Structure 1
Amino acid sequence: MKREREEVTTAVDYVKEQDELEREAREIMPFDPDECTYQQGEIRQMVFACLTCSRQNSTPIGICYSCSIQCHASHELVELFSKRNFVCDCGTTKMSETVNGGCRLRLQPESKNGSRSASISESITIKTGISRRISFSTSQSLELPAEDIPGSNSYNQNFSGKFCHCEQIYNPLKEEGTMFQCYFGFECGEDWYHDDCILGYEHNCLSTKELKVESSNGESLLGVNILDKLPEAEDEAATNKSFASFNDSDGEEELVVPHFPSMEDFDVFICWKCADKFAHIFEKFNDNIVLTALPHFEGITSLAQWEELYEKYKSSPAISKSDEPQIKKTKLDDPISKSYFFKYGFKPHLKALTDSQDEKLKQFLLNNSYLYSSDPIYEPPEKDGHASSTGSLLDLGAEALQALPRDQAVEGLQAYDKIRNKLRDFFKPFAEEGKVVTEDEVRQFFSDIKDKEK
């Protein structure tokens, strides 16, 4: 029987792969994680749901960027992107059931009786968005009580790891669709929605033949991750981000949902759930604001079914009982739910409506001024000198060692230098001669080191 071919890679390829992983990690974690945002109160910021602490305390726990690294590194986290008016829950009494649930960035390293607490080493895992992870270690203090007063945050299904109307658990390694965040968020809590779910399809029910094919560098970018093409976070358009898997290949064709507007044509999306709450208000927005308003039909399983209902929708604001579709609706005589897509540059036109004689419209806008005013997302400061864009993860590990007590730091640096030098010596002949190094050879290298240390 033939032996299965062993996977091999050259040392040069290995080094290049590690450099690429480090670059991805720096892009995901570009900021200095040294300050918790709790003291800043209710702000629009990047939020992470800590599923570990949520289970331990039987309540949703949302934390800021810095705490996700410094206090919850070993926990199960879900990145939620931006949320408005959010206060970091780390270290508040919401985490009273979490052992050492105090915020390590806000509390002193000494305990209340003046004694210094013990130190532990935790593995920080950076999810790169691909099926690989990068880890390095840091040291933190124990015996930190959760004492701070929690904020008045609101929580939606995102804090349990679920997204969209289909309530799907988001898995960045398997997700193939495109998702959009609701800019209004009044009813849905700024949830994320699949493009097909927005129109009312059962998620992923459309066949390849039913989807449109458009070029990723042509008129439509739907289906392509545009996170790296977005304006800076302080720009009002920053929330209109794709939640899709990374795909930035010029000229590739993308399968997109028919009748869904091109991402190049609209600035922000507002879901039908939020629009329904103020349907009488949204109907008053003019063409300078709204690019299109698309109906949300429930339980659609084919393109033909959706288009048939769409034709009826266009001829009438509601579907009558005589034209009753084979879908579940609460009231047949209710207006059809609609999602709104606002044009680029809509804010000045929306702000102008604050001078309207329509008191209900005026009051709505004044109550939700972020819809037309500047709505920046807070970002922690970047590392001094932009070190995060040039240093390797091994350098970051060395920086972390500097925060340890002297005896631990010296011991850690010695171990660090030892493994670094040995690894470089091991790969040097492979790289110079262009030879391949197998996984078994790498495993044997580390096994030999362990045997020598026994």
Structure 2
Amino acid sequence: FALVSSRMAANDGEEEATVSLVDVLEEDEELENEASAVLGGSDSEKCSYPEGYVKRQALYACNTCTPKGGEPAGICLACSYKCHEGHDLFELYTKRNFRCDCGNDKFGEMECKLFADKEKVNSGNKYSHNFFGLYCTCDRPYPDPEDEVPDEMIQCIVCEDWFHGRHLGCVVPDCVELQEMICESCMNKTPFLWNYAAHIAGNIIYFFLLPFCIYRYVQVNGTSACKRKHQEETEGSSEEGSCSGCRLREMKSSGKSRTLQGAVFWPSAWRTKLCTCTDCKVLYADAGVSFLTDEMDTVLAYENKGKSTEQAEQAGGAEGRDPLMSALNNLNRVQQLEIIHEYNDMKTELKDYLQRFAAEGKVVTPEDIRQFFEQQQSRKRRRANAGQYYCS
């Protein structure tokens, strides 16, 4: 299966670049896993409205039906396919405790094709400028055609808005994927979190001050001493019930503090350090952040759910075997070469086709994909017909 996928010009003096078909399939599998993580097991056929305010789900906003200047609204994955196909959609990634708005009063005469019996409005939903395709404190779209500064977007776990790293008012740690972030505005709205930040967020030093080689060792080896030390300092929860063992009160009395500015990045498992005594639970509820004590609220838990769902579906196949790999085993080397060349050509063309949607911040619909493959078939037929005139 060591098949040539691309060839360098002979005068360049470079060796042929090769890739195995197994490598190609594994790369595609990784992309599929990422997509499954984003969707989190969302149903692409049924509207999520009957489920009520879903704990966390993939959401979209329709610029065609609810443009800027109107009322913000969010729609579920299935409605983005069935009810808003061909529309200008904003991908919102995920939102917590949201109920699908498709077809309610915010959409005028339009009705949901998947579930018609809906309330006029979902009063429990929370909205932001994200629903009009705007993000961060700069209130700009993403991607932003006028922004020439390369920067990543990071989501606040409280307000769920997305921020440019340079607009967070702090240095962004190197290993963002291992942490959760709370923006400065949300920290100020929940001032008791600054006490936790002074004690817990400081432990983040174990991540970004370690030499790279040690950091990789911590990632790969779950029983490493460094990781055990970090876990010991971040895991474990405070006593339930009585306020006599209030962890927050102990932190306040310690006198330890930090500068009350900038976003805060929290280390892995930091939520388990939050006090869950009776008074603190009331404090979380009053501030609207009770979800912080729920580890299943994290985006990581949501993504793992999506990956697990995908893996379970794959395992349901015939002994978990990939049908494409099974078919390739029955082909000779020439046929395998032809397949990999055709596959790579299609992959390149599909990537170029999808880049247009990414540049415009639009969601790819099933109709867009059908159109791509129809164009592929049309070009293939034209090449086949043209070849007839060169037969000897």
Scaled by the length of structure 1, the TM-score of the pair is 0.45
- Partner of 1:168: helix, strand, or coil? coil
- Deviation, 1:266, is 6.1
- Partner of 2:264: helix, strand, or coil? strand
Q: Residue 284 of structure 2 is aligned with which of 352, 365, 378?
A: 365
Q: Residue 313 of structure 2 is aligned with which of 385, 395, 404?
A: 385
Matched ranges for 1:131-146 at <5 A: none
- 8 Å contact kept, 2:68–2:132: no
> 1:391/1:150 Cα in 2 relative to 1: closer, same or farther (>3 Å)?
farther
- Deviation, 1:35, is 2.3
State the match for 2:153 in structure 1: 179
Aligned mates of 1:364, 1:391 — CA distance in 2: 54
> 1:35/1:288 Cα in 2 relative to 1: closer, same or farther (>3 Å)?
farther
RMSD between superposed Cα atoms in Å: 4.9
State the match for 2:224 in structure 1: none
Aligned mates of 2:82, 2:95 — CA distance in 1: 20
Q: Residue 285 of structure 1 is aligned with which of 196, 204, 227?
A: 196
Q: Residue 37 of structure 1 is aligned with which of 34, 41, 48?
A: 48
- Deviation, 1:355, is 5.2
Matched ranges for 1:289-308 at <5 A: 289-291=200-202
Once the two structures are superposed, what CA deviation does each residue of 1:216-264 show, in whole Å capped at 9, x if it has no partner?
xxxxxxxxxxxxxxxxxxxxxxxxxxxxxxxxxxxxxxxxxxx433326
> 1:90/1:20 Cα in 2 relative to 1: closer, same or farther (>3 Å)?
farther
- Deviation, 1:375, is 3.4
> 1:286/1:157 Cα in 2 relative to 1: closer, same or farther (>3 Å)?
closer
Q: Residue 129 of structure 2 is aligned with which of 157, 160, 163?
A: 157
Confirm whether residue 268 of structure 1 aligns to residue 180 of structure 2.
Answer: yes
Aligned mates of 1:83, 1:441 — CA distance in 2: 36
Tell me which protein shows more strand as a share of its residues.
1
Q: Residue 345 of structure 1 is aligned with which of 269, 289, 304?
A: 269
Aligned mates of 2:75, 2:107 — CA distance in 1: 11
Report how many residues are paired.
259
Matched ranges for 1:319-338 at <5 A: 337-338=261-262
Once the two structures are superposed, what CA deviation does each residue of 1:267-320 show, in whole Å capped at 9, x if it has no partner?
2111011112233x2333264433389xxxxxxxxxxxxxxxxxxxxxxxxxxx
Structure 2 residue runs without a partner (length 5+) = 1-8, 10-17, 205-258, 325-333, 350-374, 387-392
> 1:71/1:382 Cα in 2 relative to 1: closer, same or farther (>3 Å)?
farther
Matched ranges for 1:44-63 at <5 A: 44-55=56-67, 58-63=70-75
Give 1:149's aligned amino acid. Answer: K
- Partner of 2:196: helix, strand, or coil? coil
> 1:41/1:444 Cα in 2 relative to 1: closer, same or farther (>3 Å)?
closer
Matched ranges for 1:50-449 at <5 A: 50-55=62-67, 58-98=70-110, 101-104=111-114, 106=115, 147-152=118-123, 153-171=125-143, 176-185=150-159, 190-199=160-169, 259-263=171-175, 267-279=179-191, 281-285=192-196, 287-291=198-202, 337-352=261-276, 354=277, 363-367=282-286, 368-376=289-297, 382=310, 385-386=313-314, 431=338, 445-447=380-382
- Deviation, 1:161, is 0.9
Give 1:37's aligned amino acid. Answer: S
> 1:20/1:94 Cα in 2 relative to 1: closer, same or farther (>3 Å)?
farther
Tell me which protein shows more helix as a share of its residues.
2
- 8 Å contact kept, 2:169–2:261: no
Structure 1 residue runs without a partner (length 5+) = 1-7, 108-145, 201-258, 294-334, 393-426
- 8 Å contact kept, 2:79–2:112: no
- Partner of 1:284: helix, strand, or coil? helix
